[in-house]
Chain A
Amino acid sequence: MITLDPAMLNRVIKPARYTGNEWNSIKKDHDTVSVTVALSLPDVYEVGMSNLGLKILYQILNNREDTAAERVYAPWVDMEAEMRERNIPLYTLESLKPVREFDIVGFSLQYEMSYSNVLNMLDLAGIPLFTAERDEHMPIIIGGGPCTFNAEPVADFFDCLVLGEGEEVMEDIIAAVSSWKKAGKINGRSGILKSLAQIGGVYVPSLYDVTYHENGMVAEVLPNCPEVPLVVTKRVVKDLNKVEYATRPIVPFLDIVHDRIMLELFRGCTRGCRFCQAGVLYRPVRERRPELLLKMAKEMVDSTGYNEISLTSLSSADYSCLPDLVDSLMGELKEQGVSVSLPSLRIDSFSIDLAQKVQQVRKSGLTFAPEAGSQRMRDVINKGVTQKNLEDAVSAAFQAGWSTVKLYFMMGLPTETDEDVLGIADLAYKVLDLYKEIKGRRGAKVTVSVSCFVPKPHTPFQWFGQDLANEFERKQQLLKARLRDRSITFNWHDARTSFLEGAFARGDRRLGQVLLKAWQNGARFDGWSEYFKYDVWMDAFKTCEIDPYFYATRHRDFDEVMPWDHLSSGASKQFLQREYEQAVTEELTCDCRREHCSACGVCPGLGVEVLDWGSRA
Chain B
Amino acid sequence: MAKLRLEITKGEEIRYISHLDYASAMERAIIRAKLPVAYSEGFNPHMKISFASALAVGVTSQAEYIDIECKEEIDVNQAVEHLKASLPMGIRIKGAAYMQGNVPALMAIVNLATYEITVPLLAEDIGIIEDSIRWFNEAEAVLYTRESPKGKKEIEIKQYMAKPITLTALDKAVRLILEIQITPTGSIKPGEVLGALVAMFDLPVDIDNLLIHRTGLYISNANRQVSPVEL
Contacts and interface: CB of A to CB of B under 8 A. Distances in A.
A19 B14 CA distance: 8
B21 A254 contact: yes
A19 B208 contact: no
Nearest to A10: B58
Interface stretch (A116-124, A301-309, A319-327): A301-309
Contacts of A337: 31, 39, 45, 47
Contacts of A306: 28, 31
B14 A7 contact: no
Interface in B73-90: 86, 88-90
Residue among B16, B25, B45, B210 having the largest count of chain A Cβ atoms under 10 Å:
B16
Interface in B15-35: 15-18, 21-22, 24-25, 27-32, 34
A7 B32 contact: no
Contacts of B47: 337
B31 A336 contact: yes
Contacts of B58: 6, 9-10, 15
Interface of B: 13-18, 21-22, 24-25, 27-32, 34, 39, 43-45, 47, 57-58, 86, 88-90, 206, 208-211
Contacts of A5: 209
17 contacts: A6-B58, A6-B210, A6-B211, A7-B208, A9-B15, A9-B16, A10-B209, A15-B57, A16-B16, A21-B13, A21-B14, A23-B29, A23-B88, A253-B25, A305-B30, A305-B86, A361-B44
A16 B25 CA distance: 13
A258 interface: no
B18 A16 contact: yes
Given A6-B210, A336-B31, A362-B43, A19 B25 contact: no
A361 B29 CA distance: 25
Given A253-B17, A306-B31, 6 more contacts: A11-B208, A16-B16, A253-B22, A254-B17, A306-B28, A362-B44
A22 interface: yes
B32 A10 contact: no
A60 interface: no
A359 to B, nearest CB: 11
A251 interface: yes
For the complex of A and B, 9 pairs with smallest distance between CB atoms: A305-B28, A7-B208, A15-B16, A305-B31, A21-B13, A305-B32, A23-B88, A253-B17, A7-B209
A251 B30 CA distance: 14
Given A6-B58, A16-B16, A21-B13, A307 B31 contact: yes
A15 B56 CA distance: 12
A21 B25 CA distance: 12
Contacts of B27: 305
B29 A305 contact: yes
A162 B17 CA distance: 36
A532 to B, nearest CB: 26
Given A6-B209, A23-B25, A304-B28, A361 B43 contact: yes
A190 to B, nearest CB: 42
Given A10-B208, A15-B57, A253-B14, A22 B88 contact: yes
Nearest to B21: A253
Given A5-B209, A9-B16, A11-B208, A21 B88 contact: yes
How large, as a class, is the contact surface on chain A? 20 to 34
Given A15-B16, A21-B90, A7 B206 contact: yes
A145 B15 CA distance: 34
Contact of A251 (B17, B28, B206, B208): B28
Contacts of B17: 16, 253-254
Interface string A10-32: 11000110110111000000000
Contacts of B206: 7
Interface in A283-331: 301-307
A304 B57 CA distance: 23
A463 to B, nearest CB: 49
Contacts of A21: 13-14, 88-90
A494 B160 CA distance: 52
A533 B38 CA distance: 51
A254 B14 CA distance: 11
Contacts of B22: 253
A164 B207 CA distance: 51
Contacts of B210: 6, 10
Given A10-B58, A16-B16, A362-B44, A23 B209 contact: no
Contacts of B209: 5-7, 10
Nearest to B18: A16
Contacts of A301: 31
Contacts of A251: 25, 28, 88
Contacts of A303: 32
Given A15-B57, A23-B88, A362-B43, A302 B32 contact: yes
Interface in A13-66: 15-16, 18-19, 21-23
Contacts of B21: 16, 253-255
Contacts of A19: 13-16
B58 to A, nearest CB: 5
B15 to A, nearest CB: 7
Contacts of B16: 9, 15-16, 18-19
A284 to B, nearest CB: 37
B85 to A, nearest CB: 11
B28 A23 contact: yes
A257 to B, nearest CB: 15
B22 to A, nearest CB: 8
A16 B19 CA distance: 12
Nearest to B20: A255
A217 B39 CA distance: 64
Contacts of A9: 15-16, 58
Nearest to A6: B209
Interface in A497-553: none
B111 to A, nearest CB: 28
Residue among A5, A6, A304 having the largest count of chain B Cβ atoms under 10 Å:
A6
Nearest to B46: A337
